[in-house]
Structure 1
Amino acid sequence: MDVFAIGHATFKLRIDGLVILTDPWFTTSGFLYNLFMRRIYPLATELDSIKQCDVMLVSHNHPDHLSRHALTIARKLGSLVIGPGDVVRRAERHGVPNARELRPRESIEAFGIRITAVPAVHPLANNPIGFFLEGNTNIYYSGDTRFDWKIVEALRGKRVDVAFLQVSCAFRPLWHGADGMDINYAEELAKAIRPRCVIPMHFDCVGKYLDITTKKRVSEHSLDVEDVLSVFRRRLSRSGIECLLLFAGNEATI
């Protein structure tokens, strides 16, 4: 499997000629972007440069996980869009002819890979899900989620080769607390599901919490982010779990 990090939670996966895009966010401007979603790493590729996308996995319908123009590309390339109901309805409104809703624990066979929706807990999102892909390489993609034992139960008995895990989240102590995982919760989940390799993701938006305990947040200074992720990698290594850090523009073969 070849992995190319486009930025935030967007990856291009190439598996035996099949191309999968995860949570395709390509926005780089606009009011909401400037207010809530400023990137610290330049987008690694422009959406229009993508010439093949067989499957588009969308974990939930938040703007930093699905760009409007990504659905235009899905329609143009004939991509199979898989996600929760509101994602599928949005795709259909954009004229995407091939969209499939998945609820937690439901599966679909596509291009020789079994794709199963994994439970996720993400306040303010409608029916968020993660994904488990079973093939020659088994992949868990968390999307945005809190640590939850329902995830562990859904993956129990599964061989997880690679886990893409959220490592920064919003944190509002007087409202709903953490809306996903920081490095501490991601470490807890990794130890529970025991993947061979973890690829951290979702660390590209200014203001998100990388480490709630020490109040470390994503800042404009990318070296600060890299320092926190290096700590995360060392902690996983002590537990016998490999951690591969891929920043926007990096690629790896697994």
Structure 2
Amino acid sequence: MDLPETTFLGHSTVRLRLGGRTVLTDPVLTDPVLTATVGPLRRMAPAVDPAGLADVDLVLISHLHADHLHLGSLRLLPVGTEVVVPAGAAGWLRRRGVRRVSELAVGQARTFSGLRVTGTAAEHSGHRWGPRLTHGPQAVAMGHLLEADGARVYLAGDTGLFPGLADIAAQGPIDLAALPVWGWGPSLGPGHLDPAGAAEAVRRLAPRVTLPVQWGTLAVAGLCSVPGRTGGRMRELLVRPPQDFAAAVVAAGLRTRPVVVPPGASLGVPA
């Protein structure tokens, strides 16, 4: 079975063509000039080519953090694109000008033409401004399981390890899993996967092919230019996590194919 047409656009943004739909996940599409709109983060990867966005008609948002739900990026998408957010978040987006928005809850399934999308659990903060705050927009963080054309694709969103990964695998074989292997800073807090954690997720999910995401794209503005160990570590973290992940998968003898492509590149994986 061939994999769906898949392009890694950077961070957690993946473009898929599946079930007659063009799907975009957690779009962060700004170029280096506009990155101030992603809080303190600067885009280190090349800008996304607008030509690749012209046919996007469905967006899946995993949670409300600004590096996954980026309002400026949503405004760059074609008019009529449906934005699907975690349950409880649609009203907040409508008040900010997102016109076609709907909700999906963990465990709920919806069909979009020929594409079935099921909300899956995740282990991650769902508050817009971070786990320490209680006031403001909040919705449960989630992943997505996509099924169409005889293929099953798991999009983890942002998550740490949790027991429910085995439940996702038990529903049927996964052809492609997009798993985060880092983030945007020099360290990771709770609710994230590092390369070793992502390799353990592969062991539980047993996907045919794994695409490491959430690397090589965003960094705190100026941090890569800091002299000495701090800047050096941040520069290394822009390139090393997917390689370390792939090495961990191979070392563990896991029966999956890790496919590392840089931001902006497409998967070229034959059947």
TM-score w.r.t. length of structure 2: 0.77
Match of 2:258 in 1: 243
Cα distance per residue 1:194-238 (max 9 Å; x no partner) = 00011000112337xxxxxxx9x97235xx643442232132233
User: Are the equivalent residues in 1 in contact too, given 2:169–2:206 (CA < 8 A)?
Assistant: no
TM-score by length of 1: 0.82
Letter in 1 for 2:163: W
| 1:141 aligned partner | 155
Contact 1:5 1:251 in 2 (8 A): yes
Which one-letter code corresponds to 2:79 in the other structure?
L
Question: Which of 178, 183, 207 matches 1:164?
Answer: 178
CA contact (8 A) 1:171 1:178 kept: no
1:160-196 superposed Cα distances (whole Å, 9 cap, x missing partner): 10000011147999xx942311111111111001000
Deviation at 1:106, TM superposition (A): 0.5
1:21 CA displacement:
0.6
User: Identity of paired residues, percent?
Assistant: 23
**Would the aligned equivalents of 1:130 and 1:142 in 2 still touch at CA under 8 Å?**
yes
Shift of 1:33: 3.9
Aligned to 1:153: 167
Matched, 1:184 2:196: yes
1:131 is the counterpart of 2:144: yes
Relative to structure 2, which stretch is displaced further, 124-133 or 164-173?
Answer: 164-173
Partner of 1:229: 242
Indicate how the Cα distance of structure 1 residues 49 and 196 shifts in structure 2: closer, same or farther if over 3 A, else same: closer
Aligned partner of 2:208 in structure 1 is 196
The residue type equivalent to 1:182 in the other structure is D
Q: Shift of residue 80 of structure 1? A: 1.8
- SS of the aligned residue for 2:43 comes to coil
Question: How many angstroms apart in 2 are the aligned matches of 1:206 and 1:72?
Answer: 23
Amino acid at match of 1:188: E
Displacement over 6 Å in runs of 4+? 170-173
In structure 1, what is the equivalent of residue 43 of structure 2? 39
Query: Which consecutive residues of structure 1, in runs of 5 or more, have no partner in the other structure?
Result: 208-214
Determine helix, strand or coil for the equivalent of 2:204.
Answer: helix
Q: 1:77 is paired with a residue of what secondary structure?
A: coil
- Given the superposition, is the C-alpha separation of residues 123 and 170 from structure 1 closer, same or farther in structure 2, using an over 3 Å criterion? farther
CA RMSD, Structure 1 to Structure 2 (Å): 2.9
Q: 1:198 to 1:119 in 2, by over 3 A?
A: same
Q: Where does 1:48-197 land on structure 2 (aligned, <5 Å)?
A: 50-74=53-77, 76-123=78-125, 125=127, 126-135=139-148, 136-169=150-183, 177-197=189-209
Output the amino acid matched with 2:244. V
CA spacing shift, 1:253–1:86, aligned 2, 3 Å: farther
CA distance in 2, matches of 1:161, 1:201: 16
Q: Which letter does structure 2 place at the counterpart of 1:105? A: G
